[in-house]
Structure 1
Amino acid sequence: MKIATWNINSLKVRLPQVLDWLAAHEPDALCLQELKLEDKAFPLAELEAAGYHAAFVGQKTYNGVAILSPRPIDAASVVRNIPGFEDEQKRLIAATIDGVRVVCGYFPNGQAVGSDKFDYKLRWLGALTAWLRGELQTHERLVLAGDFNIAPEERDAHPDWKDEIHVSAPERAAFRALLDLGLIDAFRLFEQPERSFSWWDYRMLAFRRNFGLRIDHLLVSPALRPACCSCTVDKAPRRLERPSDHAPVVLELA
């Protein structure tokens, strides 16, 4: 089983790239973030023509998440947004695919440490962690995938990264709280090249210089750890013309 996550930074702009990537890689589940379009504008017909079903929730201009799969997605299994957490922003969707609970999240950026948006980020993370505790009791096989907007360790940020956001102590503590649920960072189950990142700014030739952050993650439940075969960053889409500033991260399960 192949599960991938990709912050696409506008599905309208990047739809041809997504369709090409689906055809080349044939994932069992592709988690997308930052759709940046309303539900009525979601390209369901184009994706179905390519052989993919979709569960999605979006809003105009910002946010939006989706799970794509070649398997039909049981509508009864779909959850949109964190239950019990009032939020106008569309940042989370979950569905069960082939016996695996797939949770796709676009975690808040936080803007700056100490800001109102940073406080919202921590509250959102707290609500997610509390909800996932129950999900893990119900779903033994679970994957939490998405753009976390957190580089959890020093090696996940370029050494010259100076901004506090994404690497601050409160954000990293929130990431560890997810691991304390029993979730495992699939990427770190395998030997990886030094300075492995999944996001690079459009400015300052950041991709060419590999000045980036690893902020896109796939966390797996303990039951799935023995099934993990590989977890890699696919940099190829980042080299395309008009790319997303994120690259897909791909997990393969036996």
Structure 2
Amino acid sequence: MKIASWNVNSLNVRLPQLQQWLAEFAPDVVGLQETKLEDHRFPDAALAELGYRSAFHGQKTYNGVAILVRDQTPEQVQIAIPGFDDAQARAIAATVDDVRIVNLYVVNGQDVGTDKYAYKLRWLDAVHGWLAEELRAHPKLVVLGDFNIAPDDRDVPDPQTWDDDHILTSTAERNALRRLLALGLHDALRLHNHEAGLFSWWDYRQAAFRRNLGLRIDLTLVSDALKAQVAEVGIDRTPRGWERPSDHAPAFVTLR
């Protein structure tokens, strides 16, 4: 099972790129973030033509998440974080065969110390409680998405700039991610590769992609029950080089 995560940064703009990538990369499951579409505008029929059935949770202009599954319908779909009052469309879960998929578009947080930063930490705390419940019900769990957190110094171009005072790398954010991992989850990429500079996001400005000045903030996490089944993991940089690209590249993990 090849499972991928991609922040498409507007599915309305990026649908042709998604269609091309699905045809070429052929993932079995895809979590999308920042679809930026209300549910009635989601391109369900266009994706079905490529063999993908969709579960989606969207809103106008901002946020939006979806799970695409090849050749079958997502089951046991959960929209949003249970018990957490949140107007933003940032979370969705579904079961595919015997694997539970949780797709997250984590709050950016704007700047350390702001109201949006506090909301990010509250949101992550709610996710922690939700994932604890999901793991009890579904030992085979994959949590993927745009986490808006670079896990450690290997995941930034300059640790002196991306430090405790910087959004996406502050101690509180990284500790929140570590709390999720402590539930029994593993950063799939780091099971196989400890190299620095493997980024999934690059700013559109200052030739950041060409210079590889990016961040690794798009993650695939696997539970203890799936750790030994990780066969391949990586970041597909190819779509980032296409015309009118998203600023993110897909992250993926393949399970035996």
Alpha-carbon distance change, 204 to 74 in structure 1, aligned in 2, over 3 angstroms: closer
Residue 107 of structure 2 corresponds to residue 103 of structure 1: no
Tell me which moved more, 184-193 or 1-10.
Answer: 184-193
Match of 2:187 among 185, 188, 195: 185
Residue 49 of structure 2 corresponds to residue 59 of structure 1: no
- What is the percent sequence identity of the aligned residues? 56
CA shift, 1:29, in A, is 0.4
Contact 2:143–2:222 at 8 Å: present in 1 too? yes
* C-alpha RMSD over aligned residues: 1.1
- Unaligned runs of at least 5 residues, structure 2: none
Matching residue of 2:70: 70
SS at the partner of 2:132?
Answer: helix
Tell me which moved more, 161-170 or 43-52.
Answer: 161-170
Matching residue of 2:228: 226
- The 4+ residue runs of structure 1 with deviation greater than 4 A are none
C-alpha distance in 2 between matches for 1:225 and 1:160:
29
* Amino acid of the structure 2 residue aligned with 1:11: L
Matching residue of 1:201: 203
Alpha-carbon distance change, 169 to 160 in structure 1, aligned in 2, over 3 angstroms: closer
SS at the partner of 1:184?
Answer: strand
Matching residue of 2:35: 35
How many equivalent pairs are there?
253
* Amino acid of the structure 1 residue aligned with 2:161: K
- Provide TM-score, normalisation by structure 1: 0.97
- Provide TM-score, normalisation by structure 2: 0.97
Matching residue of 1:210: 212
* Amino acid of the structure 1 residue aligned with 2:65: V
Q: Deviations over 1:68-100 (max 9, x none)?
A: 01132255x000100000000000000000110
Residue 11 of structure 2 corresponds to residue 18 of structure 1: no
* Amino acid of the structure 1 residue aligned with 2:219: H
Contact 2:53–2:74 at 8 Å: present in 1 too? no
Matching residue of 1:174: 176
CA shift, 1:160, in A, is 6.0
Contact 2:201–2:247 at 8 Å: present in 1 too? yes
Q: Deviations over 1:143-188 (max 9, x none)?
A: 0000000001011111167250100000000000001101000000
- Unaligned runs of at least 5 residues, structure 1: none
Contact 2:93–2:103 at 8 Å: present in 1 too? yes
C-alpha distance in 2 between matches for 1:71 and 1:192:
34
Contact 2:31–2:65 at 8 Å: present in 1 too? yes
Contact 2:155–2:196 at 8 Å: present in 1 too? no
Alpha-carbon distance change, 74 to 8 in structure 1, aligned in 2, over 3 angstroms: closer
